[in-house]
Amino acid sequence: MSEEVKKASLNVPRAMFFSLMINGSLALGMMIIVLASAGDPAIYAGSSYPFIPIFANVFQSNAAATGVTAVILVIQFVTTIGGLASASRMVWSFSRDRGLPGWSLLSQVDSRSTIPLAAIALVTIAGCLLSLINVGSALLEALFSSYLICCSLLLYRRVKGQVGMPAADGDTTSEAPYTWGPWHLKGKFGILNNVFACGYLIFICFFSFWPAQTPVTAATMNYSSLVTGAVVLFSIVYYLLWAKRTYQGPIVEVRL
């Protein structure tokens, strides 16, 4: 979505930073309040959604608990719409660059609505299919693993000195060398930041494959490792057999 943002190299990192600060602070405050009000663990021990009996115990009213839960459901719905828009936009972008199977169909944009309907349908169907099995934190693991790949590549190029300062002509072609944007940490502090990020992501990714409870049964098994492994294996085979002949890197759009 950065392609649609003016001065993306500055505004996108700024939006990410302040979103993290604001939402992280609010989430920490909410977590402290919920834990302080949780009460006796026996109240919510057998519930699939512990926050609901916690609300009922705090308000001493099922109606109030239902109202607060409804607010959370609305927020979750809005979040899902945002995630769907982001994921489908990413699918469309990779398809436009000829980097996904079926890119000729997924890159199409409906002439009337100017919306990539095929990409949206694919993301929606994939999300529904994943919800049919217990994949644990597969989506969260995929999110963190994608961050880990980016951080690892950036750390490698930092150490090798392969990222320079921006050129005066503002070259943005795919063959241009890597240059820093206006939002970055210079020198050893940037390297330390990337090392910490990679270490944290490795820790998160490793434990995201484990089941959430014991004993482990077919119903409680975390199948995120199976899903992730299948996607990685398919991606490697697809690239070696087909994609390397069609994918030439990101397509740079130029406004005239």
List, for residues 113-144, the tens digit of each pLDDT value: 889 999 999 989 988 877 776 555 545 555 55
| Three state DSSP letters for 89-136 | HHHHHHHHCCCCCCHHHHCCCCCCCCCCHHHHHHHHHHHHHHCCCCCC
Q: Is 148 helix (H, G, I), strand (E, B) or coil?
A: helix
240 belongs to a structural domain: yes
| CA–CA separation, 41 and 33 (whole Å) | 15
179 bridge partner residues:
164
**Pair 201, 251 in one domain:** yes
Please name which of 71, 28, 65 lies closest in space to residue 43, comparing C-alpha atoms.
65
168 belongs to a structural domain: yes
The residue among 110, 132, 154 that closes a domain is 132
141 belongs to a structural domain: yes
Distance of CA 167 to the CA centre of its chain: 31
| CA–CA separation, 165 and 148 (whole Å) | 24
pLDDT in tens, the chain (256 residues): 777 788 888 888 899 899 989 999 998 998 898 888 888 888 777 777 888 888 888 888 999 999 999 998 998 888 888 888 888 988 998 899 888 899 999 999 988 888 999 999 998 998 887 777 655 554 555 555 666 677 777 777 777 776 766 544 444 555 566 777 787 787 888 889 889 989 988 888 888 788 877 788 877 777 777 878 888 899 899 999 888 888 887 776 666 5
In this structure, what token pair is assigned to residue 31? 């977590």
| CA–CA separation, 31 and 12 (whole Å) | 28
97 belongs to a structural domain: yes
Compute the residue count for the chain.
256
The residue among 74, 103, 132 that closes a domain is 132
State what percent of residues in the chain have pLDDT above 90. 15
The residue among 113, 132, 151 that closes a domain is 132
**Pair 79, 43 in one domain:** yes
What's the Cα-to-Cα distance from 88 to each of 15, 42, 121, 122, 246, rounded to whole Å? 20, 42, 8, 8, 21
**Pair 175, 255 in one domain:** yes
**Pair 144, 252 in one domain:** yes
Number of domains in the chain: 2
**Pair 248, 142 in one domain:** yes
9 belongs to a structural domain: no
In this structure, what token pair is assigned to residue 40? 């006796």
Angle subtended by helix axes 138-160 and 187-208, to nearest 10: 150
- Which domain covers residue 179, as residue numbers? 136-256
230 belongs to a structural domain: yes
**Pair 140, 128 in one domain:** no
Specify the pTM.
Answer: 0.72
